[in-house]
């Protein structure tokens, strides 16, 4: 059996690729099958790879962008590095460079976190991975982006929240190290969505009512009947397409999906804590990074958060942290409690 802690964290869930592999055109079936094979082969290297020099100065990011040249080799050829101010002219290279920078900037400016490990770890990304590769993933040391197939998926650097989502898997790896299966794995995915959305909102300066709360907007081509891969505001509504099927995410515990696929439904049931965060942010108003984001971040760093924590355990910690920060019975504490109750997660 595969060690669930030693698998890559792919952005596109396997059940979506399996639908394409069984029902798409011949070319799309081949693209999906090659992507699924690559996703199974690339396990998290978690320290095995040599990392380039990071940043010793807190608040200063160090980025390295590589190109795999449509091969499945990592990291590939160095094509842009920190200090290269001129745009390369290659959209994937430049989007990855700026996306890494925006993610670092959010975590530093809002949480005083110095890179993924809080010790200045270099931010690495490889673009143009594989031929028609339909995914992006965090492999334990770096980001990897495919170019998509051009028919269903655009390039995976196109959405800032995809980049931030995958980098957040690295933050989780260095903090709570949530087991990537079942409810703990769904929390892992949800936290990555939460901070992916926060990075995008922070970059755009959006208030909660201005944000789209979509994860992966722009990833689908115009051929797909869908807005994004996931919706935090309304799980289950992101897409409804003849080939891809309907977004299977639930937004309430009564609809929790029991499955052994997708490591126990990590990409499916993450819709429940996603919606709880959205409910909290909307109840508080203003900018989501002012109260809701720091509360979730404090809970991620909380030593009481175990590797196998379920939704209730995480929810109770967010409520406790809200009480410590703002006082039990405060507006923030009450909104946190109500957000979890709204999605059917029992809290005191």
Which of the residues are catalytic? 166, 267
CB 241 within 8 A of CB 224: yes
Q: Are 169 and 117 in contact (CB under 8 A)?
A: no
With residue 164 as reference, give the H or E element that holds it: helix 160-174
Question: Quick one: DSSP state of residue 222?
Answer: T
Q: State the DSSP code for 122.
A: P
Note whether 133 and 200 are within 8 A (CB): no
The neighbour count for residue 30, using CB atoms within 10 Å, is 15
The answer to whether 189 touches 271, Cβ cutoff 8 Å, is: no
What are the Cα distances from residue 253, in Å, to 75, 210, 276? 40, 27, 11
Strands (E), the chain: 9-10, 63-67, 77-81, 123-127, 136-138, 143-145, 214-215, 230-231, 240-241, 245-246
Nearest to 39, CA basis, from 60, 52, 58, 21? 21
Q: DSSP string covering 41-97, please?
A: H----TT-SPPPP--SSTT---EEEEE-TTSS-SS-EEEEETT--S--S-HHHHHHH
Cα torsion through 204, 205, 209, 214, rounded to 10: 30
């Amino acid at each position: 059996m595969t060690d669930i802690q030693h698998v890559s964290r792919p952005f596109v869930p396997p059940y979506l690729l399996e639908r394409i592999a069984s029902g798409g055109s011949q070319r799309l079936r081949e693209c999906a099958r090659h992507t699924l094979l690559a996703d199974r082969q690339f396990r998290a290297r978690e320290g095995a790879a040599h990392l380039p020099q990071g940043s010793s100065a807190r608040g200063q990011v160090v980025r390295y962008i590589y190109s795999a040249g449509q091969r499945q080799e990592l990291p590939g050829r160095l094509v842009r590095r920190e200090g290269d101010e001129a745009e390369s002219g290659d959209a994937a290279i430049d989007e990855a460079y700026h996306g890494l920078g925006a993610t670092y900037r959010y975590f530093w400016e809002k949480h005083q976190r110095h890179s993924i490990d809080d010790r200045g770890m270099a931010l690495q990304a490889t673009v143009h991975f594989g031929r028609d590769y339909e995914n992006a993933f965090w492999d334990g040391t770096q980001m990897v982006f495919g170019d998509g197939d051009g028919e269903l998926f655009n390039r995976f650097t196109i959405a800032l929240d995809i980049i931030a989502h995958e980098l957040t898997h690295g933050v989780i790896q260095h903090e709570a190290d949530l087991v990537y299966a079942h409810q703990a794995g769904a929390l892992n995915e949800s936290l990555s969505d939460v901070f992916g959305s926060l990075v995008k909102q922070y970059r755009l300066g959006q208030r909660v009512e201005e944000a789209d709360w979509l994860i992966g907007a722009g990833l689908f081509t115009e051929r797909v009947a869908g807005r994004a891969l996931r919706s935090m505001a309304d799980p289950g509504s992101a897409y409804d397409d003849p080939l891809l099927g309907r977004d299977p995410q639930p937004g309430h515990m009564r609809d929790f999906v029991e499955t052994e696929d997708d490591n126990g439904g990590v990409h499916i049931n993450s819709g429940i804590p996603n919606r709880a965060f959205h409910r909290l942010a909307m109840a508080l108003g203003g900018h989501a990074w002012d109260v809701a984001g720091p509360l979730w971040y404090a809970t991620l760093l909380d030593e009481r958060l175990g590797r196998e924590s379920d939704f209730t355990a995480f929810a109770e910690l967010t409520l406790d942290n809200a009480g410590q920060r703002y006082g039990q019975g405060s507006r923030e504490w009450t909104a946190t409690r109500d957000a979890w109750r709204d999605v059917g997660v029992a809290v005191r």
